A and B are shown apart, each in its own frame.
Chain A
Amino acid sequence: MNAVSSMPDKKDSRLRWRCRRGMLELDLMLNNFIDREYDELDNEQKSLLDQLLDYPDQLLFDLFLGFMKSSDKDIDRLVSYIRKSVAT
């Protein structure tokens, strides 16, 4: 896995720094997603991702590993998208 790239896109850097978490699972999941999919996201998805990154680590862990499902449909859809991108 490659950690943060050194491209000087500041919005991207800010987002990437927020993907640095306390658990390896989250680092892998989020950095992989940003590397592969970030450019494909529309503005609404980007702001949803920003919202998701405010969640505490333990909750993200439970969502990403499928132990829990968000009742917010939009978040749930984004989580599924992130989960799908890591396993491929």
Chain B
Amino acid sequence: MSNYKVLVSKLGLDGHDRGAKVVARALKDAGFDVIYTGIRQTPEQVVEAAIQEDVDVIGVSILSGAHIHHVSRLMKLLRERGLNVPVVVGGTIPIPDVPRLKQMGVREVFLPGSSLKEIINVVRRLAEEKRRAEQQA
């Protein structure tokens, strides 16, 4: 079985890529194949990259405060394209926004202070789930 593939992306215009890079590094060290798209990505670019790379999980990091706007667009595009890739979001997300994001279909939200171990575990679980679902299909 090949490695799980994860797309790590910075959605929106803010350049605070410290978190995204640390997570990308940690995922790689944990045995994932990570595709890093860099900063200033639009939801369209993220969805297209996920399609072309056929990833198992999409992870986006947003610290600009525009998470509701970008993520709702991202989830809408994924639905339109019929894509079943789990999405996780990290960044400075106010707690009251967490349920809103989950309602949109985001599988997990990582707030500041989340541990790498926790992130790796969740991503692995979601990737497993996705591959299993695909085998059945």
Chains A and B come from one and the same complex: no
